[in-house]
Structures are given as structure tokens and as C-alpha cells.
């Protein structure tokens, strides 16, 4: 990977600038689930579209609504962290929190409740080298179902999807299981300015 960085159009975070050769390799890995580890056979990361086009279109959506990748990440992290926080509190009270309790979900604040089914496995980040097998290049396919209490609408995301958005500004291919659609996230969390 090249070490150059650029500031994305919404201006809040620096991200790595990949060379064309890197992007070709990354995209190939995304299209070949066997490159990403056994769990990724659940579904391809990217379907029939270009990685660069997808990233540019999604960042344009975010810029149009005058919000940022960081704002979306913050909302998702709040939901995930809130889920584990409540889970810990209940366990501290001596109530073991198994899959049933996690799938039932927790009210994390006045606005949202978050439920989470069991982890489906781990997948290797396609932005990392196939020869790098360190644990931090793998991410859980653990989903969080966020429900907005006032109108009972839900928004779903995974740890892996959150990682791709936060670290690589990639929201997932349209129709793929990792996708965190930026427009849906903006509408759901009310981030439009």
C-alpha cells in the first residue's frame, strides 16, 4: 500500500490514498470471497459494480446532505457500544446475557433499542494484504439491529461494515450484506443539515 493520504470531500478525517494497482487487487479480493476467509462465503462484499465508483457516489451523497462519514460512524458506534454497555450492566447484576437476551435487545437511550443475533464468523478485511494474517485484519460478522422507538423502524449494520466505513470510507456494494447505505443512515439518524 502507498503511504500517501488525502482528505475526503467532507473534510473530517484523513484516509489512505491507494494506488491504482492496490485498488485493482482490493476489488479482486472483494469479488472472490475465498480470499476473505471461510466465513465470507455468506455473501460477496461487492457485486457487479466498481469499487471506486461506489465510494465516490456514496461520499457524494454524504457531502450533498452536508454531513460526514465521521457523523455516521459516531451514531453506529454509539448503538454498538450502548448495546454492550447495557449487556455488561445486566451481567454485573448477576444475570447472564445469552443469545436469547441479546436477540431480544436493549433500550440504549430514549430514542433507540439495539438487538444483536449471534456472530456469524470472521472475515478478513479486503483492504489488507492476503499475506498479513494478524488478528486485527479480521472482523466479526456480528449484526446490530437498531430500532427507532418512536416509529418502530429498524436499521441494520455489522462490525465488519462499520470497520469498512470507518477505516476505508467504503459503504459496501449495493445489495451486499455489509452495505451501510449512507442515505438510509442519514435519514434514520437524522443527520442531514
What binding mask, one character per residue, do residues 114-133 give for Zn ion by CB under 5 A, x or -? -----------x-x------
To Zn ion, the closest distance from the beta carbon of 123 in angstroms equals 10
* Strand-pair partners of 106: 114
On whether the CB atoms of residues 81 and 108 are closer than 8 A, the answer is no
* Between 82 and 169, CB nearer to Zn ion: 169
* Between 147 and 159, CB nearer to Zn ion: 159
What binding mask, one character per residue, do residues 72-111 give for Zn ion by CB under 5 A, x or -? ----------------------------------------
CA distances from 136 to 75, 82, 123 (A): 23, 22, 11
Burial of 109-147, coded b for 16+ CB within 10 Å and e otherwise, reads eeebbbbbeeebebbbbbbbeeeeeeeebbbebbbbbbb
Please say whether the dihedral angle defined by the alpha carbons of residues 144, 105, 81 and 107, taken in this order, is positive or negative: positive
Choose the stretch contacting Zn ion; rule: CB under 5 A; options: 65-73, 147-155, 163-171, 173-181. Answer: 163-171
To Zn ion, the closest distance from the beta carbon of 11 in angstroms equals 22
* Between 108 and 122, CB nearer to Zn ion: 122
**Binding residues for Zn ion, per CB under 5 A?**
125, 127, 167
Amino acid at each position: 500500500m502507498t503511504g500517501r493520504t488525502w482528505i475526503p470531500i467532507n473534510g473530517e478525517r484523513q484516509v489512505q490514498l491507494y494506488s491504482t494497482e492496490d485498488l485493482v487487487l482490493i476489488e479482486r479480493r472483494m469479488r472472490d470471497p475465498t480470499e476473505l476467509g471461510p466465513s465470507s462465503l455468506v455473501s460477496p462484499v461487492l457485486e457487479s459494480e466498481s469499487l471506486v465508483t461506489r465510494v465516490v457516489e456514496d461520499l457524494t451523497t454524504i457531502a450533498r446532505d452536508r454531513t460526514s462519514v465521521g457523523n455516521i460512524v459516531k451514531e453506529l458506534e454509539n448503538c454498538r457500544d450502548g448495546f454492550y454497555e447495557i449487556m455488561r450492566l445486566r451481567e454485573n447484576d448477576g444475570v447472564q446475557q445469552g443469545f436469547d437476551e441479546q436477540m431480544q435487545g436493549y433500550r440504549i437511550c430514549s430514542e433507540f433499542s439495539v438487538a444483536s443475533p449471534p456472530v456469524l464468523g470472521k472475515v478478513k478485511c479486503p483492504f489488507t494484504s492476503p499475506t498479513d494474517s494478524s488478528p486485527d485484519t479480521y472482523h466479526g460478522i456480528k449484526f446490530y439491529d437498531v430500532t427507532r422507538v418512536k416509529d418502530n423502524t429498524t436499521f441494520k449494520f455489522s462490525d465488519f461494515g462499520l470497520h469498512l466505513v470507518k477505516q476505508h470510507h467504503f459503504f459496501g456494494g449495493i445489495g451486499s450484506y455489509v452495505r451501510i447505505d449512507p442515505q438510509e443512515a442519514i435519514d434514520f439518524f437524522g443527520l442531514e443539515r
